Amino acid sequence: MIRIEKRIQPLRYQGIFAATSAVVIAFVVGCAIFAGLGVNPLTAYAAMGKGVFSSADAFSEVLVKATPLIFTGLAVATAAVMMLWNIGAEGQLVWGGICAAGAALFLFPQTQPWLLIPLVLTASALGGMVWALIPALLKAKLRVNEILTTLLLNYVAIIYMEHLFYGPWRDPAGFGFPGTAQIPEAAQLLRFAGTRISLGFPLALLCAVMLYYLLYKSVWGYQVRVIGKELRAARYAGFNVTGKILAVMALSGAFAGMAGMVEVCGIHYRLQTGLAVGYGYDGIIVAWLAGLNPLVVPFTAILLGALFVGGEQLQSVLGLPSTISLILEGALLFGLFTGQTLVRYTVTISGRSKEVS
Amino acid sequence: MADPVISLSKVTKRFGPVWANREVDLDLFPGRVHALLGENGAGKSTLMSILAGRYSADGGTMMMHGREVSFNSPAKALDHGIGMVYQRFMLIESMTVSENLALSAGKAHGRTGIDQVIHQTAERYGLGVDPEKRVFELSMGERQRVEIIKLLMLDAEVLIFDEPTSVLTPPEVDALFEVIDQLRAEGKTIVLITHKLEEVLKLADDISIMRKGRLVFSERIDARQMSRQQLARLMVGRDVVLRVDKKEVAVGETILALQGVSGDSPLGGPSYTDVTLEIKQGEIFSIIGVAGNGQVGLVSAITGLSQARSGTITFDGATYNAREWRMASREKIAYVPEDRYHSGSIGAMSIADNFALTRLAAYRSGMAGMVLDREKMAADGTRAIRDHNIKVESSEDSAGSLSGGNLQKVILARELTRNAKLFVAEQPTQGLDISATEEIWRALLECREKAAVLLVTGDLKEVLSLSDRIGVIFNGRILEIIDAHDSDQVDRVGLLMAGVRT
């Protein structure tokens, strides 16, 4: 007989406990998978580690992967602080990419070069914002579950993007490859010393710090946190809950939109397949692993980035499928929620009910 | 006299620091209706949930037909013939009646035979309900019937009803009472958890009264011989009136006046009708009533959490209609809500954060008031802890780590700091120990020197100790407003609470 009972007081250091259990469970799951594939788990983990830390070049790729993850992590965290589930960071990222590419391609000759990047960034943030406001309005006005609407709108965004680069926006000089023309140099983000790390990375860090200040040092952020933690107390205090749902989702969408911008303007230099590779969904893990703390998000984004880079290494060195990193990612989330449950509940295994005659 | 079917002895249950049940002894007999009375939070539902296997007791024993039993799940209790009809029905709304019943009783009757059994059971007890309908299509009364049928199909011997009439219309109440009468005649053991005295007088054979987790009264009496007044006294516990030092305070101008205010409770609870009253600067005006008589809805209309249907409200000289008042009320009223854990505070946030909840304007600084002045919050929090003798290490500790009394002091301190002209306190000492209660009483008495105070409570002792005037609410109406200094009149409060006007 398994009995699950709520703890009267949650465990202390819940965030650390949950994050640790996530890492431990993912590690154990990984061991089982490697062993199942006939590879010594230690060899496999060593290969992953080596792939990440062997050279500055290798590690720079981790930061490249972490850049959009920080943005999508912040997007998910912003909404989740108010107990809203933004599963749509992927679609908002895509819209951010569409708007960034569109602005870069079509505003270019008429605009001052120095003004182009700020305009492109703003366009991408607005694109993500508008896409996030659709589910936000449905949630605030009609109480439509935002998990479903944000998720489903992802597919709409991706298909529309494909329509653009297969159709009207396709590069006429592209030898038939699906994708837009390359964006002008003035719209490309500066890269650091021979790596693919762009200005997007420091921009992401700046956004993390800004979100932290907004949530923890502003009156608005205080209200958002109260709404997320105790809706009835927020109503009692007279906070405008509907307005906050819209504002928080808009901000969340803006962060995801900027993820699309740094991908388009920092990596691909055009709109093409490969923009929607799941960073929006990965943001969920980044955010929750960070305990929704914006200042921790960059670190968990780097952790996940390392997992991806290490996964690629598994393929090239050991001939294992790189998708193992996706399994490890899933195990991280699973372990995190296990840890979060154990923080709040006790599980006891006892014998049959007592019956004395 | 038959032997008891169920015999509880020294049953104890704690939720953290709170004793929900403390060494409760209770016997239940076949063929009798046992009324279990008490205020909100007295521990009635917890005790019965232990009997029905939903909670497990921390101490004490349960005997059934002379054998010790303990249940680790409601299903186990049902196997022994003990079932409970909860206030919130345990039905799957998207499934049909027959599917719901098959879920619990299907094992005993088989999926195919079940419709016939439903039909027979319904026929026998007059519990008409269409087995093919989905539960969300049913009225509350019909849903309750499904719950009762569920227990009867499992041959329950002990049926516990948790405030069964709170969701029913009057004709449904009559129908339920007929069913209960029939069950009694068949020798079933019935427990009726309630705080409605009428029901007790109409149905009960035995009465037990709980207060603060303990059984304070339990007798095998013919309840119908008792007067409402006796019952009301027993339930509210009038004997111990503490005398508090009450300074004379000059009564000033009218701060709040309600004129014919009617409306419904926000969550579909009982409504309030045509309420007219005035609260003046320098007085404590109390609204007292047995729980479920419309006071929750009335307070939420006064504090602006919900909107009254009709009537006018005058505050400090300005008159508002119901809708205008809802918009205007927030800033004007300090309010200590009944639910101190989920409305009055945020357990996961610090005391300093909680201390700012309704006073954010005081902490706006920088950048057009968008920046939260954390230093001032911490300083104010620390000062409040010191001034109000709140037992905690620092203002950064979470509110959830406080005891009920200390948490209430944080909320009280916050609302006092707002210096509002009207101070509303709703069940402010419910569940608190004596020393915390006295501190809160002292604070309320002090508060009336600067403001008008509205106290809403079910605790007669509290009302008699603090009030200047008392409005008794029954069935959504203020039956009478009594001057608390007139001792002849005050004796009638208990009676009025039971709805008796003499």
List pLDDT tens digits, range A229-273.
Answer: 999 999 999 999 999 999 999 999 999 999 999 999 999 999 998
Tell me which chain B residue has its CA closest to the CA of residue A230: B346
pLDDT digits (tens, 9 = 90+) for B371-382: 999 999 999 999
Residues of chain B with pLDDT under 70: 1, 40, 108, 110-111, 221-225, 228-229, 232-233, 235-244, 267-269, 502
- Whole-model pTM: value is 0.79
Residues 6+ apart with CB under 8 A from B368: none
What is the model's pLDDT at position B244?
A: 67
How far is the C-alpha of A257 from the C-alpha of A103, rounded, in Å?
13
Q: Choose the weakest-confidence range: A7-16, A36-45, B245-254, B258-267.
A: A7-16
A8, A221, A354: residue with CB nearest B15? A8
What domains are there in chain A, each with its CATH number? 1-39+320-349 (no CATH), 57-317 (1.10.3470)
pLDDT higher than threshold 50 for residue A88: yes
Distance, in Å, from the CA atom of B385 to the CA atom of B319, rounded to the nearest integer, reads 38
Quote the minimal CA–CA distance from A332 to chain B in Å. Answer: 25
Inter-chain CB proximity B337 and A353 less than 8 Å: no
* Contact assignment for A235 to B337 by CB distance below 8 Å: no
Contact present, B251 and B282 (Cβ < 8 Å): yes
For testing the chain B interface, which of A7, A219, A340 should be mutated: the one with the most B CBs within 10 Å?
A219
Predicted pLDDT of residue A9: 64
* Residues B36, B48: Cα–Cα separation, whole Å: 9
Is residue A82's pLDDT more than 90?
yes
Best to test chain A binding among B305, B341, B372 (most A CBs inside 10 Å)? B372
With a cut of 80, say whether residue A281 has pLDDT above it: yes
Q: Looking at the partner chain, which of B72, B345, B358 has a beta carbon nearest the beta carbon of A1?
A: B72
Contacts of B363 in chain A (CB under 8 A): 219
Does the beta-carbon distance from A356 to B67 stay under 8 Å? Answer: yes
d(CA A317, CA B93) in angstroms, rounded, equals 55
Instruction: Tokens for B25, please give them.
Output: 């002894």
Closest CB from B349, B369, B371 relative to A229: B349
Please name which of A4, A78, A351 lies closest in space to residue A228, comparing C-alpha atoms. A78
> Between vectors from CA A293 to CA A288 and to CA A298, what angle results, nearest 5°?
85
Residues of chain A with C-beta less than 8 angstroms from the C-beta of B370: 218-220
**Which domains are seen in chain B, by residue range?**
6-226 (3.40.50.300), 254-497 (3.40.50.300)
Helical axes B114-125 vs B140-153, angle rounded to 10°: 110
pLDDT at A357: 34
Mean pLDDT in residue range A126-145: 96
Residue A183 has pLDDT above 70, yes or no: yes
User: Could you tell me which of B248, B57, B267, B67 has the C-alpha nearest to residue A357?
Assistant: B67
Mean pLDDT across the stretch A212-221? 96
Instruction: Give the per-residue pLDDT at A355.
Output: 39
CA dihedral angle for residue B24, residue B29, residue B35, residue B37, rounded to 10 degrees: -10
Residue A138 pLDDT greater than 50, yes or no: yes
* Chain B residues near residue A350 by CB distance under 8 angstroms: 72
Q: How does B44-62 read in b/e, with b if 16+ C-beta sit within 10 Å?
A: bbbbbbbbbbbbebeebeb
The CA–CA distances, whole Å, from A262 to A120, A281, B158 equal 10, 17, 67
**A331-346 mean pLDDT:** 85
**Are B372 and A354 within 8 A, CB to CB?**
no
Q: Do B357 and A353 touch (CB under 8 A)?
A: no
Mean pLDDT of A172-187: 87
What tokens does A227 get?
Answer: 């709404």
